[in-house]
Structure 1
Amino acid sequence: MPALAPRPELSIVVPVYNEADNLAPLVARLEPILDAHVSSWEIICVDDGSRDGTLAALRALNAQDSRISAISFSRNFGKEVAIAAGLDHANGEAVVIMDADLQHPPEVIPAFLAKWREGFLNVYGQRTDREGESPLKRNFAKAFYKLFASFGETELPEGAGDFRLLDRRVVEALRALPERARFSKGLYAWVGFRATGVPFAVADRAHGESKFRFRKLFSFAFDGISSFSTVPLKIATWLGVAIAIVATLTGLYFMVRTLLFGTDLPGFPSLIVSIMFFSGIQLISLGMIGEYVGRIFAEVKRRPLYLVGERVGFAQDDSAPPRGDVLPPGIG
């Protein structure tokens, strides 16, 4: 049996979507930093169904340096799944997750490594400001962290995101989590291990524009809360109990009032408003239940978390990772 290749000291996992113009500048800044601070390294880019020249750029980078490899999805599966695929394929003793747009400065990686060598297994980048964001997005982020702190099962460090270093033990723990509706920030906190933060300032995008829109951010926030808390369901229950109590007291009030003073002329506007209000409450409650049922439905189907259309820089006989699958030749 041939000897197994030694693990690189550090893997860099980069989820990419339409980032063709940013890849070469990213690698140009990463390579000297990695050569200076680790004995061996690899860069794994996960192409999340890009529609531009991202895959061609990744092939060119691999041709220049075999330590740069790529996975190309059959379609867009989302950043959370791309991160999971990168962790599935990363072999390093430690793994750094970062974006391709250079808003996560590669120059922070030596600080990550220093904390890792001190014994921290989960070293997260903690942004020091949000000056480049709109007031709406800043306030939305603050509200989300407060809600998650109040209702979530785990505590999220404020300002911490996907830019982080994970020890091999943390990576294996994350790979063991099978859920399809993934909220990585919550999963990083849920698995535990010794963690610390490294402050950094978010840089401007090198090229292109952000792929996140407010609607997507809202959906992402709801995924986070619903994945780590059943409080939305409890709110529906508490609201139903409160409304039932109010309705009972109101009924008793009108019964006593009728016995004492007789019947007033019926008020149709108040009746219509009441019906619409309670109907809205019922629909909201059913919607919350439906969101959780939908997540159960997605889990029990047991589909692969992602489909790999092409691998660049990996051995042809590599087996598919447990949470993904590879499309046969000619399909995709």
Structure 2
Amino acid sequence: MLHQASILVPVYNEEHALRANMPRLLAFLEEALDDFEVLVVENGSRDNTLQVARSLSESSSRISVHSLPEASLGQAIKAGLQAASFEKVVCFPIDLSVGLDFILEAVKLLDSFHIVVGSKRMAAGLDSRPLPRRMASRAYHGSVALLFHSQLSDTSCVKAFRRTKILDLLKAIPSNNSVFETELLLAAEELGLNIVEVPVQVSDSRRGRIPLALKAWSKARDLFSLRVDSLSLYFGGLCLVSGLALMVWLVLQKLVSGRGGFSHPYSFLLALLLVLFGAQSVFFGFNSRLLLQLRGGHWVD
């Protein structure tokens, strides 16, 4: 069977890595695949990434360059998947922080699976990045598992897709979402697409182009926004039940004591506030769930 694939390479401020690593990537692909194309999707770079990419495309007919005005990994992935000529599409970083062998392995696995996900968390010692990045990654993927009960161990590493199986999902997911890759995989998992994870070694000692604290905040914000309905319903329901229980206890205490007022008036005020806050949170949760369902209507149906 012929091994053919589109290699999608999103780039943002990667002029040095692009110039240094593209020849190595092309050499590997020439040996590993029968036919291929490299889609370089530059998005909002402030350095000479676009100029370097265009120069490389002039020296190789295998390379095509697509440019987006704003930095957006989600939009870059969408643009690359829509422009791909082959059914199998492998998303791969130009820093080559993951071994190139993943490409051939993923192309072969896509004969049997819809999505192949590279995971740096399937075994100990796979993630060789600096400690702060490893800790942030562990916290992020722990949150994904807790909030969404996902079976995937890693949603932000390399991945490969059967193009026709994923195009419709792209329409429902906002491009400016900092957890775009995660949301895409969660949607695919919910739809029952056939997904397989494979272990990959990740090594990247470079300083992140976006400050880690800012990146962690934006990911946490966008990730929890996907579960704002469940969180609101859970905590709102908890407050509502606690407030009602406290009210009942205070009323019973008042009836037993025979006093004209509540012995703990501030406790009754607290119970009332809990009930009001809980009711509002539950109402907000139901409305949020409706909005999220409408937002994801392209693939929920």
Shared fold, TM over 0.5: yes
Q: How big is each residue's C-alpha offset from its partner over 1:87-117, in whole Å with a ceiling of 9 and x where there is no partner?
A: 1111212100122332233232122223234
Shift of the alpha carbon at 1:199? 0.9
One-letter amino acid of the counterpart of residue 75, structure 1: E
Partner of 2:101: 107
Task: Identify the match of residue 120 of structure 1 among 113, 117, 120.
Answer: 113
Cα 1:288–1:141 shift into 2, 3 Å: farther
Corresponding position of 2:48: 53
Q: What residue in structure 2 maps to residue 83 of structure 1?
A: 77
Question: What is the CA-CA distance between 1:193 and the residue it aligns to?
Answer: 3.1
Q: Which amino acid aligns with 1:203?
A: S
Q: Which residue of 2 aligns with 1:314?
A: none
Higher relative helix content: 2
Q: 1:140 to 1:91 in 2, by over 3 A?
A: same
1:185 match: 185
Task: Tell me, yes or no, if structure 1 residue 93 matches structure 2 residue 92.
Answer: no
Residue in 2 that maps onto 1:201: 201
Cα deviation, residue 163, structure 1: 0.9
Structure 2 contact 6–84 (Cα < 8 Å) conserved: yes
1:81–1:251 CA distance, 2 compared to 1 (3 A)? farther
The unaligned stretches of length 5 or more in structure 1 are 1-7, 301-332
The one-letter amino acid paired with 1:30 is L
CA RMSD of aligned residues (A): 3.9
Residues 231 and 56 (structure 1), Cα distance of their counterparts in 2 relative to 1, 3 Å cut: same
Count residues with an aligned counterpart: 281
1:94–1:165 contact (8 Å) kept in structure 2: yes
Kindly indicate whether residue 65 of structure 2 is the aligned counterpart of residue 66 of structure 1.
Answer: no
| 1:186–1:263 Cα change, 3 Å | closer
Q: Does 1:15 align with 2:14?
A: no
1:49 Cα deviation (Å)?
0.8
Larger RCO, structure (CA 8 Å, separation 6 or more): 1
Quick one: distance in 1 between partners of 2:45 and 2:275? 43
Take 2:219 and 2:95, find their aligned partners in 1: how far apart are those partners? 20
How far apart are 1:243 and its partner, in Å? 3.0
Q: Report the counterpart of residue 307 of structure 1 in structure 2.
A: none
Q: Secondary structure at 1:96's aligned position in 2?
A: strand
1:185, distance to aligned residue in structure 2 (A): 2.9
Q: Distance in 2 between matches of 1:246 and 1:224?
A: 33
**Where do residues 1-332 of structure 1 align in structure 2 (5 Å cutoff)?**
9-76=4-71, 78-117=72-111, 119-127=112-120, 128=123, 129-132=126-129, 133-134=131-132, 136-150=135-149, 155-175=150-170, 177-180=171-174, 182=180, 183-205=183-205, 207-211=206-210, 213-224=212-223, 226-227=225-226, 230-256=229-255, 258-259=257-258, 274=270, 278=274, 285=281, 292=288
TM-score, structure 2 as length reference: 0.75
**Secondary structure of the corresponding residue to residue 161 of structure 1:** coil
Q: Under a length normalisation based on structure 1, what TM-score does the superposition of the two structures give?
A: 0.69
Identity of aligned residues (%): 21
1:25–1:170 CA distance, 2 compared to 1 (3 A): farther
What residue ranges of structure 2 are gaps of 5+ in the alignment? 297-301
Contact 1:95 1:165 in 2 (8 A): yes
